[in-house]
């Protein structure tokens, strides 16, 4: 069984109900890199149906009037009708059939990964609630998954103030009771500011399980400035992972962006010295770090984290892309911190 098959048949058999069918369609579309507007209709319809009582469900189904509900169109109505009739909706069956394996050469590493350390929910710029993200992470076979929404200054991504992050911690604590033994790790993707300081209160960062630090602004600063900025950040005892270090964007819907320039040797030496893992970002439009830098980090003896940076549940299955690149560039699985059991991982992040 592949990881994605677990999504298709969580308990081995049976047709999904209407909410599950709509969500699973969302999963396959996101996994296949669909534009968000194509996915939104299905996720929205799932929400609408999830809000109905069993009686209402039966009434709409019997009368065949699903499209009377706001948020349900002809395509989503067809899915709901078939699912309510106990069938596997045609569209879902097509998507399952058409799904391609992701990053097959990276499979030995993918099988060793126990979790994902960089994901976003709709609290910042992700598309889905925390609960749905984590439900899919668990269904993919993860033992843990860190929720790392953006920090305050990234206003375009609705970054979380200290107050909102504290509120999120309560939500995560409650989810952990429901999801156990699967563990939702608390976290943040914190912006590295121009001077290398971090965009969140230090006390709050210290409380979090996982702190991913990334540069999102002034990516074109000169090499000396960028190097200083990044070294300062990775040396910060609260930082556990250096996110998408070059900031580059390769072919994709977001266009292209060149790598930031910095002294990679110095930055990776600092990562090693201060116990910060270098992220292998699995997003197909990032492929960050580029292979030559990945090999340099291997040579220096860094730790790594193979993360999805998922902004939607289906993107949680992109880890295979990162694994493929890690394997191709000689990354030792034992140096990948998310192959470790959760206690070892948390002891490492707390101590470094």
The nearer residue to Zn ion, 214 or 329, going by C-beta atoms, is 214
The answer to whether residue 191 forms part of the interface with Zn ion (CB under 5 A) is: no
Binding residue for Zn ion (CB under 5 A) from 121, 214, 236, 338?
214
CA atoms within 13 A on the CB side of 217: 16
Cα separation, 292 vs 329, whole angstroms:
8
Q: Do 196 and 225 form a contact (C-beta atoms < 8 A)?
A: no
CA distances for 33 relative to 29, 168, 313, angstroms: 6, 28, 12
Under DSSP, the state recorded for 313 is G
By CB under 5 A, which span of 58-66, 181-189, 201-209, 290-298 interacts with Zn ion? 181-189
The nearer residue to Zn ion, 45 or 325, going by C-beta atoms, is 325
Minimum CB separation of residue 191 from Zn ion in Å reads 8
CA-CA-CA-CA torsion sign (239, 286, 215, 133): negative
CA-CA-CA-CA torsion sign (104, 110, 115, 120): negative
Specify burial of residue 185 (Cβ count, 10 A radius: 0-12, 13-18, 19+): buried
The nearer residue to Zn ion, 215 or 326, going by C-beta atoms, is 215
Q: How many residues bind Zn ion (CB under 5 A)?
A: 3
Minimum CB separation of residue 57 from Zn ion in Å reads 37
Minimum CB separation of residue 257 from Zn ion in Å reads 12
By CB under 5 A, which span of 101-109, 173-181, 208-216, 257-265 interacts with Zn ion? 208-216
Dihedral angle, C-alpha 187, 305, 222, 260, nearest 10 ° = -110
By CB under 5 A, which span of 74-82, 93-101, 214-222, 317-325 interacts with Zn ion? 214-222
Minimum CB separation of residue 148 from Zn ion in Å reads 7
Q: Do 337 and 345 form a contact (C-beta atoms < 8 A)?
A: yes
Closest C-alpha to 278, from 234, 341, 328: 234
By CB under 5 A, which span of 122-130, 188-196, 225-233, 245-253 interacts with Zn ion? 188-196
Residue 72 backbone phi and psi in degrees, to 5: -115, 120
Cα separation, 175 vs 182, whole angstroms:
10
Binding residue for Zn ion (CB under 5 A) from 3, 24, 116, 189?
189
The nearer residue to Zn ion, 107 or 164, going by C-beta atoms, is 164
By CB under 5 A, which span of 101-109, 134-142, 184-192, 336-344 interacts with Zn ion? 184-192
The answer to whether residue 309 forms part of the interface with Zn ion (CB under 5 A) is: yes
Pattern 59-78, binding to Zn ion, x per CB under 5 A? --------------------
Q: Which residues sit at the interface with Zn ion, rule CB under 5 A?
A: 189, 214, 309
């Amino acid at each position: 069984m592949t990881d994605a098959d677990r999504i298709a048949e969580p308990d081995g058999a049976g047709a999904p109900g209407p909410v599950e069918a709509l969500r699973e369609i969302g999963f396959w579309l996101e996994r296949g890199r669909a534009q968000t507007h194509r996915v939104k209709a299905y996720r929205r319809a799932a929400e609408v149906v999830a809000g109905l009582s069993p009686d209402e469900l039966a009434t709409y189904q019997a009368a065949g009037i699903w499209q009377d509900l706001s948020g349900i169109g002809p395509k989503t109505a067809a899915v709901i009708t078939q699912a309510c009739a106990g069938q596997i909706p045609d569209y879902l069956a097509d998507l399952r059939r058409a799904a391609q394996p992701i990053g097959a050469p990276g499979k030995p590493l993918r099988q060793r990964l126990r979790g994902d350390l960089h994901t976003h929910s709709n609290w910042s710029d992700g598309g889905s609630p925390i609960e749905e993200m984590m439900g899919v992470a668990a269904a993919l076979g993860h033992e843990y998954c860190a929720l790392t929404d953006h920090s305050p200054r990234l206003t375009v991504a609705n970054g979380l103030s200290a107050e909102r992050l504290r509120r999120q911690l309560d939500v995560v604590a409650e989810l952990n009771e429901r999801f156990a033994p699967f563990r939702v790790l608390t976290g943040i993707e914190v912006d590295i500011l121009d001077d290398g300081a971090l965009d969140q209160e230090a006390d709050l960062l210290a409380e979090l399980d996982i702190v991913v630090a990334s540069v999102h602004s002034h990516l074109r600063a000169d090499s000396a400035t960028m190097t200083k900025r990044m070294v300062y950040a990775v040396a910060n005892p609260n930082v556990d992972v250096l996110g998408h270090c070059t900031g580059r964007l390769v072919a994709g819907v977001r266009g292209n962006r060149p790598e930031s320039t910095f002294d990679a040797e110095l930055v990776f030496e600092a990562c090693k010295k201060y116990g910060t893992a270098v992220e292998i970002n699995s997003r197909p439009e990032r492929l960050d770090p580029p292979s030559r830098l990945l090999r340099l980090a291997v040579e220096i003896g860094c730790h790594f984290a193979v993360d999805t940076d998922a902004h939607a549940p289906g993107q949680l299955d992109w880890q295979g892309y990162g694994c493929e690149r890690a394997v191709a560039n000689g990354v030792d699985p034992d140096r990948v911190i998310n192959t470790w059991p959760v206690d070892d991982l948390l002891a490492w992040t707390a101590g470094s």
